[in-house]
Structure 1
Amino acid sequence: MSAVTTYAQAPERGWLTPIGRRRWQNFKANRRGYWALWIFLLLFGLSLCAEFIANDRPIVASYKGELLFPVFVNYPEETFGGFLAETDFRSEFIRDEIEANGWMIWPPIRYSYQTVNSYIPHSAPTPPFWLMSKEERCAAYPQGADDPGCTLGNMNWLGTDDQARDVMARMIYGFRISVLFGLVLTIASAVIGVSAGAVQGYFGGWTDLLFQRFIEIWSSMPVLYILLIIAAILPPGFFILLGIMLLFSWVGFVGVVRAEFLRARNFEYVNAARALGVGNGTIMYRHLLPNAMVATLTFLPFILSGSITTLTSLDFLGFGMPPGSPSLGEMIAQGKSNLQAPWLGLTAFFAMSIMLSLLIFVGEATRDAFDPRKTFR
């Protein structure tokens, strides 16, 4: 008689709970939202490496046996036999000097967001290089079409703006600023809004009443007018604009979190935790907050897209980032002022449309993933 030994199957381990894995599977089931997330992360990742994609400095250079990294270090012109000034790697003198004593590896686009192209064929703005013949786009170079500087790397892929700056480079840097601004604003707003909603819902009573009256008054203020007034008084800047918008953006999170805490604060497991002497902070953070965050997470992609749209609107009106900063809103404003150069407005329009569409698709997939009818089905 043979003995049959059975072994209990070990539970699957991972950093996701079973419910979390089910939600991730529901998210992946929405193919449009799933691939939109990866495309958005890819574009955002590329924008974080903007200095290696669009820059007026070489990524790496070798000069007289010494390895240089101009993209990270500001080398004085004295290094290459010049003066005590910042090196302009696009000048013919520096280019010939380095190529005669070494080599350079340039980014695909040899312009940064503030670089002015001195070799445009006519007054700015100029169209994309593929809309012009080689003779036209090389007309400003000393040797014309035969000039060694008139290469694909020195061309303006999407043309130039009204200050002869490369549109492609400004779009890449502007995309990065828009997403970073939206992410920081969304996360900060979520932290403040969730904290305020948790305090209101958990303690209730006079605490909830006073908070609610304050939020009602605060929400009734004309946000856009206040933003414009404050932005006109204070000097423009990334963190100043972030602080101004943060004054009002946190309110949208309060209602959802407050309702969840009001619903769950008298559940049996919460009363049992109180009876065991567990502190209010631990109950709020360990037991109630995870349930309240489900509804909050579904809002985040939509709040992010709204933050980016608000920044673009303020930049379009001239109350956003400092003058000269790469901005999609500023590019749209240039397109409005230069109707004879449609590539300015169209570039910013398509960049905004693609970015916001991807975020909306991700938001819809996130909403479906956290839908309890699908999670527990």
Structure 2
Amino acid sequence: MLRQFGIAALAASVIGSVGEMLALQLPTLRWPFNTAREMPMLSAEAPGLPDFLLVDGHFLWFGWVFYVVLAVLGLCLMRRYPAGAVMPPLTQRRWERFRSVRRGYWSLIVLLGIMLIAGLDQAVVGKRPLVAQYEGAWSFPAFERRIYTGADFGVEGDRAAAEADYRALRKRFEGSNNWLLMPLVPFDSTGDTVTHNMVDLELRDGRLMGPHGGRYDGLASFVYAGDASREHVRFRYRDGLRQGEAEGRDPEGKRCFSGNYVDGELVRYELDYGDAGLEAFMALSDQQFRKIYYNPAPPLAAAGHYLGTNSSGNDIVAYLYGGLQVNIKAVLIYVPIVYVIGVTVGLLMGLYGGSFDLLVQRLIEVFSNIPFLFVVIIFSSMVPVKMKGLGIILFILVLFGWMGMTSLMRTAALKEKARDYVAAARVSGASTWRVVFVHILPNTVSILVTLIPFSVSGIVLSLTSLDYLGFGLPESYATWGRLLNDGLTKLSSPWIVSSAFVTLVLTLVLVTFVGEAVREAYDPKKFTLYK
């Protein structure tokens, strides 16, 4: 399995690097270079380099370093585990024991499937089409760095110079030879707000029927050209009949009509629309009754919002998807760094002891007596808003997150350093680092493996808590904590809080089940006979 991981890492580094040189936006593989673009400190001016390595005169060194390290890691794994290598018997027994815990095994399968879907990135969730054909020309806006404008697709007027509105273009292209293939969820996670949504209402036997059947109560409107933001006339309905005040606007948005209805009959009205009469004014729109939903809007399958929208107008499915990607990135960055620091310090404490052990223990005790989240909030609030990002927040979490495992690793090192194999390694001239990482560390792997699922749950909860309290990532990131906060402040829109809560709980339950199975597989009592 590790050899396959090495091959995948090497392939990802090559494909990601080539994609950057060809100005492509490949799913997930674009992340290192896009991060370097967003954070000036991760790029530098390098006028002497070839043009294909520069973007607007800047060398995105973080992206290239990331892929070089990934390639080296892949080559090392391929060398360490050659083709045809057989899994050690103990590892084989542990794997079989893990598979025997069915809920843990299937939870791992589900989590890997979720990670695969998240890795598809803009191919699944995004506002740009995967493929577009206009006047015989083909383009791939979702996978190109180039931003297509409305003029590229024949749009005129104010929208010609702005980025193309592909959802509007898809409606415009209906019935023509031009077409767009949109992602499964045609909305971006953030920065893609929908102001209005609407559903058609049916007039039956002189009464207006609601979207779910039955006589309609509430507001119904005519709109101009099917655009929910351009309202023509708004009526009030009760029991399917017009009742009460009504108002209308001209195509420029100026109010020009007001009236009053009683039991469906117009009893009074005022119209200021030139010489046109009431019948001519009413005929300006398509006479289709629609119910308009303002944000947060409930789930509307007809509009493509299967879980509704939040207060900012973001599609909740797309927002949850973006939050999932943020959490996966955080786990893949945070967990390895924390374990490298925590394991190294813990093993050195147990091996050296003395003043080094005492000093680090006192340091850990000081910070352990302060609530972890409280300390992170203090440091997070000190960071300027312009500098905030996933990297800064993870740096703060790493700064205080490595201490939890040091005591376990210290205890393991104290126990293992008294073994004969450690004494033999020292006598043979092995250095301290070789003793630590080649001899002691492999014998403590069971501790590390059983801790990883709990570390994953911890980082997800920490990010969610920080975002919920307003001390986490900026609004350009989709986060479950901010969505949870939005839902709890608007309990009249239960689809917001329920979506965030169910997603968070489901993720943590799956990780917990995997942790249970891992702990069972590495339980030393399963493979030890006591006499």
TM category (shorter chain) comes to 0.7 to 0.9
* Contact kept in structure 1, 2:373 and 2:462, CA below 8 Å: no
Structure 1 stretch displaced more, 203-212 or 264-273: 203-212
Summarize the Cα distance change of 1:256–1:46 in structure 2 as closer, same or farther, 3 Å threshold: same
Q: How does 1:321-360 map to 2 (within 5 A)?
A: 321-360=473-512
Deviations 1:57-80 (A, max 9, x none): 111122233321111222233322
* Contact kept in structure 1, 2:350 and 2:357, CA below 8 Å: yes
1:5 counterpart residue number: none
User: Comparing both chains, which one has the higher relative contact order based on Cα–Cα distances under 8 Å and sequence gaps of 6 or more?
Assistant: 1
1:116 and 2:189 correspond: no
Q: How does 1:13-52 map to 2 (within 5 A)?
A: 14-52=85-123
Summarize the Cα distance change of 1:39–1:88 in structure 2 as closer, same or farther, 3 Å threshold: same
Summarize the Cα distance change of 1:341–1:258 in structure 2 as closer, same or farther, 3 Å threshold: same
Summarize the Cα distance change of 1:376–1:98 in structure 2 as closer, same or farther, 3 Å threshold: farther
**RMSD, aligned CA:** 2.6
* Contact kept in structure 2, 1:160 and 1:167, CA below 8 Å: yes
Task: Name the aligned partner's letter for residue 57 of structure 1.
Answer: R
Aligned partner of residue 62 in structure 1, secondary structure: strand
In structure 2, C-alpha distance between the alignment counterparts of 1:121 and 1:164, rounded to whole Å: 13
In our comparison, the structure showing a higher alpha carbon Rg is 2
Aligned partner of residue 334 in structure 1, secondary structure: helix
Size of the aligned set, in residue pairs, is: 352
In structure 2, C-alpha distance between the alignment counterparts of 1:23 and 1:100, rounded to whole Å: 60
1:279 and 2:418 correspond: no
Task: Name the aligned partner's letter for residue 180 of structure 2.
Answer: M
* Contact kept in structure 2, 1:120 and 1:137, CA below 8 Å: no
* Contact kept in structure 2, 1:120 and 1:164, CA below 8 Å: no
1:77 and 2:150 correspond: yes
Deviations 1:110-133 (A, max 9, x none): 2111222244139xxxxxxxx954
Structure 1 segments of 4 or more deviating over 6 A?
134-140
Unmatched runs of 5 consecutive residues or more in structure 1? 1-12, 123-130
Unmatched runs of 5 consecutive residues or more in structure 2? 1-83, 200-209, 228-285, 291-299
1:182 counterpart residue number: 331
* Contact kept in structure 2, 1:27 and 1:34, CA below 8 Å: yes
Report which of the two has the higher share of helix: 1
2:380 counterpart residue number: 231
TM-score (norm. length: structure 2): 0.62
In structure 2, C-alpha distance between the alignment counterparts of 1:38 and 1:153, rounded to whole Å: 32
Report which of the two has the higher share of strand: 2
In structure 1, C-alpha distance between the alignment counterparts of 2:142 and 2:86, rounded to whole Å: 38
* Contact kept in structure 1, 2:487 and 2:493, CA below 8 Å: yes
State the identity as a percent.
32
TM-score (norm. length: structure 1): 0.86
1:62 counterpart residue number: 133
Aligned partner of residue 55 in structure 1, secondary structure: coil
* Contact kept in structure 2, 1:58 and 1:70, CA below 8 Å: yes
Structure 1 stretch displaced more, 69-78 or 296-305: 69-78
In structure 1, C-alpha distance between the alignment counterparts of 2:521 and 2:85, rounded to whole Å: 19
Task: Name the aligned partner's letter for residue 96 of structure 1.
Answer: R
In structure 2, C-alpha distance between the alignment counterparts of 1:189 and 1:281, rounded to whole Å: 19
Summarize the Cα distance change of 1:277–1:339 in structure 2 as closer, same or farther, 3 Å threshold: same
- Cα deviation, residue 293, structure 1: 2.1
In structure 1, C-alpha distance between the alignment counterparts of 2:401 and 2:211, rounded to whole Å: 46
Deviations 1:145-201 (A, max 9, x none): 89xxxx957421001111221111101111221232133222211111001011111
Task: Name the aligned partner's letter for residue 51 of structure 1.
Answer: Q
Deviations 1:29-52 (A, max 9, x none): 100100000111111221222322
